[in-house]
Amino acid sequence: MSELRFDDVTVRYGRTAAVDGVSLAVPPGAVVGLVGESGSGKSTLARAAVGLAPIAGGRITLGGVPVPARGRSRPLQMVFQDPYSSLDPRMTVGASVAEAMPPGGSRADRRAEVERLLELVHLNPACAGAVPARLSGGQRQRVALARALAARPRVIVADEITSALDVSVQGAVLNLVRELQRELGLSMLFISHNLAVVRYVASHVAVMRRGRLVEQGPAARVLTEPGHEYTRELLAAVPGRTTRRSRP
Amino acid sequence: MQGRWTRVVRTPLGLTATVLVVAVVALAVLGPVLWGSGAGAVDTDAILAPPSAEHLAGTDNLGRDILLRVLVATRLSIVLALLAITIAVVCGLVLGSAPFVLGRRSGRLLAAGVNIAVAFPGLLLALFFAVVFGVGATGAVLAIGLAGAPAFARLTQTLVAGVVARDYVAAAQAMGIGRLRILVRHVLPNIAEPLVVNATIGAGSALLSFTGLSFLGLGVQSPSYDWGRLLYDGIATIYVNAAAALVPGAAVLLAGLAFNLFGESVAKGLGVPAGIGLGAVVPGRRAVPVDAPAPAGRTAAADRPSDVVLDVRDLEVTVPGPAGPVRPVRGVSFDVRRGEAIGIVGESGSGKSMTALAITRLLAGRGRVDAARLEFLGQDLLAPDTAVRRRTLGTTLAMVFQDPMTAFNPTRRIGAQLAEVATHHQGMTRRAAAARAVDRLAAVRIPDAPARVRQYPHEFSGGMRQRAMIGMGLMGSPALIVADEPTTALDVTVQQQVLDLLTAIRRADDVALVLISHDVTVVGEVCDRILVMYAGRIVEDLPAADLVTAARHPYTRALVDAVPDMTTDLAEPLATIPGRPVDPADVPRGCAYADRCPLAGARCRAEDPPLVAGPDGPPGHRVACWHAGEPLPAPAGRDYDELVESP
């Protein structure tokens, strides 16, 4: 297991710096929640990590070596926000998952691996033959998770993976994320604008604003005794903070 | 997929075009076999004969039968046209997809080259190439093919750019899959349909271009002949025998039309389904069902309290669907009092937005609204539209949409769009209206309002646009604001500002609010009363204070438990609702929630429970459930989420 580190990373689009000198670490086996408003650069940071956005400065390393941006071996995988756009509509679920698997192995091995992965994300292995149009949003997001896991990643970057889902489905996906993290010991960079969601899955929290990291630390501390004004503002804005929950 | 192709054949135009194309292709295959020798037979006794029973279209200068020659020429004409279009499509595909494979810099150069090539007129290019490649069929095929390539390259480029922006391409890149492989596996299959359609239409125009070149003597040369060549020969003798020119002309026309119409109808068939009409879309008034449960707190219209702003009884909305009319709202009854805030929550497809559109009369031609009663400030909203009512609605009812970017006209200044409300509905002068626009923007806490009114919507941030939208609603003196997911597209901090603003407006002017959201926490914080919708019905109507502690419908309770908040127990998994929401086109008998409900029994699957106040509960708390308030069993460990069949 190895640590994902961002060292003074800068990403520029034209003249504007979408990410401006961000240093952040995702310790092995930990879930780091990255919060911030839209345009704060959190998605750009994620895309830079998996090689989808060019970095203008700094380094992104995994276990001390730079994250490879070429070749088939990709230890970092990403799950996207919109489950309706992240699966090829012309490919069966099985083919999508199999595509991400490292090359090699017999056809039977690969099929068995696809079935194992689908079971891992609580989908019926019979789903493998279905096209995404037959699945609900939550089911698609699980396929996307299975596809990310198929590449045997050391770290998964989850970019707003529940924000396009209905609340009833969001819970199931969050439960799955926690379960996978516990069972597989996955490290994860979990991006969300929803603090309650981040609180539920993440052990560490980092707060971004205008391309810069304004605060980071253990979730329990950042969310209860925020050190930065902006974090306090975010916390104050969480809806339902006035209501008390009690299970019936 | 299959269904969409059969839809192509099912329209009269599609059927005609398909039959024509099949006939042309059959003729191309069989023509030379059946009539090859007949068409070549020289009859020196009947040179340049006019049409007769023996030669229906007459003969040419060697006494050959022109009709037979036209039939036989089908093969060469079609084959040449198809060859040309193949060249165009292949070159176009290569040129159009190369920018994606090559990467940014060389791709941009190539794209610029294609854009310049597109600007040249096709026929001019064809003539140019015909001169370069020499006169003859080969030259003509290359010329027409290459002249058509830029258009296809441009189309491919656009389509590729659209697919490349999708996340599955990004996912494949993140997996380390090469660009060429991504192109073949992910991009090309997803742009094939429009390309095929355009190739079919292109085949028709290639045929025409070919005929043109042959007619000019730049195409097929003797002794070979295609329709263009026959036309060229026929024109020379048009005063002797008009049929000699008209028959090949008609052949070109028919074949060209066949390809074009086929392409068009394929394009139409593969596009959006047209849907099944509803007949006249007029508001209807349904007879009040005798056993209809009365909304809380009153029984008849006579003793209606005067503070009711909106009165909805048995609202039904019917919209056209691909397989017949669909009813996304099925009998919704509620009322909103002055200054009251009602929240409507539900999953996507529960009918909450349709309810909003129906009560604001914004459904217009898209659906049919029926209700036993639909009154706003005592005015019947089901009555035919009048200028007076439009004015009243325009000034007393405000609607706020989810996406404020699309709700404003991007080409007009914010101030002008706000002022329009006042000049149109309130008869204000432009100056007074402009002043009020500034005042209202200030009222929705937009800083520096006098300068801001002169800006365009894109110069406003998302939250600011949403506030301007609310400001637009405040141009009149609204009695009711209907807000449909007003904060879903906004950040949490901005969401809070917008919600605070709505609350402040409500307090200040006693404005009623209907807030529609999928987020129970948002609704619970802002509203007094909450209506929970499922499959087009209200399943629970309860005070917001009871939402977390005293909800009685299993769906409401699941919805509340499914959403994590800042106090959720981190040791326990979140509650989930198995299955997926009901498809409005296929609502089951009995309680629509039964399939997902842990409490469902035989009665739930047979009878739809009415929305009633509990026998021991407060009258303001209505619930539609046979098992309301019963303890929920511990969540069963479901191993798989079932695969859901496509509708």
CATH number for the domain spanning B142: value is 1.10.3720.10
Q: What average pLDDT does range B69-79 have in this prediction?
A: 87
Report the relative pairing of strands A76-79 and A65-66 from DSSP bridges: unpaired
Rounded Cα gap, residues B169 and B403, in angstroms: 27
Residue bearing the bigger pLDDT, B646 or A113: A113
First to last CA, chain B: 13
| Cα A202–Cα A206–Cα A210 angle in degrees, nearest 5 | 140
| B584-613: pLDDT as tens digits | 888 888 899 998 888 888 999 998 999 988
| Residue B357 maps to a domain | yes
Confidence of residue B271 (pLDDT cuts 50, 70, 90): low
| Residue B139 maps to a domain | yes
Query: Are residues B521 and A243, on separate chains, in Cβ contact within 8 Å?
Result: yes
CATH number for the domain spanning B317: value is 3.40.50.300
| Cα B399–Cα B402–Cα B408 angle in degrees, nearest 5 | 70
Looking at the fold, whether B378 and B482 belong to one and the same domain comes out as yes
Q: Is the pLDDT of residue B517 over 80?
A: yes
Backbone angles phi, psi at B44, to 5 degrees: -70, -15
Secondary structure class of A226 (helix, strand, coil):
coil
| Residue B440 maps to a domain | yes
Looking at the fold, whether B314 and B457 belong to one and the same domain comes out as yes
Question: Considering only CB atoms, which chain A residues are within 8 Å of B581?
Answer: 166, 168
| Residue A176 maps to a domain | no
Domain interval for residue B222: 7-39+66-270
> Where do we find the tokens 């919708």?
B533
Looking at the fold, whether B261 and B116 belong to one and the same domain comes out as yes
Please report the sign of the dihedral spanned by the C-alpha atoms of residue B615, residue B620, residue B624, residue B625: negative
| Residue B54 maps to a domain | no
- pLDDT (0 to 100) of residue B274: 34
Query: Are residues A89 and B190, on separate chains, in Cβ contact within 8 Å?
Result: yes
Distances (CA, A) of B274 to B320, B321, B324: 9, 9, 11
Q: What average pLDDT does range B215-237 have in this prediction?
A: 82
Looking at the fold, whether B464 and B347 belong to one and the same domain comes out as yes
Determine contact: A73 vs chain B, CB below 8 A.
yes
Determine contact: B264 vs chain A, CB below 8 A.
no
Q: Residue type at B431?
A: R
Tokens of A217: 């630390």
Looking at the fold, whether B16 and B119 belong to one and the same domain comes out as yes
Of B181-190, B272-281, B509-518, B564-573, the poorest mean pLDDT is in: B272-281
CA distance B119 to chain A (A): 30
State the complex-level ipTM: 0.85
Confidence of residue B467 (pLDDT cuts 50, 70, 90): confident
Instruction: Count residue pairs from A and B with Cβ separation < 8 A.
Output: 209
Our separate counts of H helices and E strands in chain B read 23, 14
| Residue B545 maps to a domain | no
Q: What average pLDDT does range B446-468 have in this prediction?
A: 86
Domain interval for residue A212: 1-75+155-161+185-240
Structural domains of chain A, count: 1
Determine contact: A17 vs chain B, CB below 8 A.
no
* Beta-bridge partners for A79: A158
Backbone angles phi, psi at A20, to 5 degrees: -125, 95
Q: What average pLDDT does range B55-68 have in this prediction?
A: 78
C-alpha Rg value of chain B to the nearest Å: 34
| B91-131: pLDDT as tens digits | 999 998 888 888 778 888 888 888 888 887 767 777 787 78
| Residue A106 maps to a domain | no
- pLDDT (0 to 100) of residue B635: 59
CATH number for the domain spanning A50: value is 3.40.50.300
| Residue A193 maps to a domain | yes
Backbone angles phi, psi at B184, to 5 degrees: -75, -40
Q: Residue type at B177?
A: I
**Contacts for B633 with CB less than 8 Å, ≥ 6 apart:** B598, B599
Mean pLDDT, chain B, as a whole number? 82
| Cα B451–Cα B452–Cα B456 angle in degrees, nearest 5 | 125
Residues 468-527 on B with a CB inside 8 Å of A are 491-496, 499, 518-522, 524-525
Looking at the fold, whether B580 and B472 belong to one and the same domain comes out as no
Looking at the fold, whether B508 and B580 belong to one and the same domain comes out as no
Question: Considering only CB atoms, which chain B residues are within 8 Å of A204?
Answer: none
Rounded Cα gap, residues B514 and B343, in angstroms: 6
Tokens of A95: 């083919």
- pLDDT (0 to 100) of residue B634: 65
Question: Under a CB-based contact definition with an 8 Å cutoff, are residues B641 and B324 in contact?
Answer: no
Determine contact: A103 vs chain B, CB below 8 A.
no
| Residue A191 maps to a domain | yes
Looking at the fold, whether B76 and B211 belong to one and the same domain comes out as yes
Q: What average pLDDT does range B445-456 have in this prediction?
A: 88
Residue bearing the bigger pLDDT, A117 or B54: A117
| Cα B631–Cα B637–Cα B642 angle in degrees, nearest 5 | 110
* Chain A residue with the nearest C-alpha to that of B553: A248
Q: Residue type at B136?
A: G
| B153-166: pLDDT as tens digits | 989 988 998 888 88
Q: Is the pLDDT of residue B272 over 50?
A: no
Looking at the fold, whether B453 and B309 belong to one and the same domain comes out as yes
Structural domains of chain B, count: 3
N residues, chain A: 248
C-alpha Rg value of chain A to the nearest Å: 18
| Residue B2 maps to a domain | no
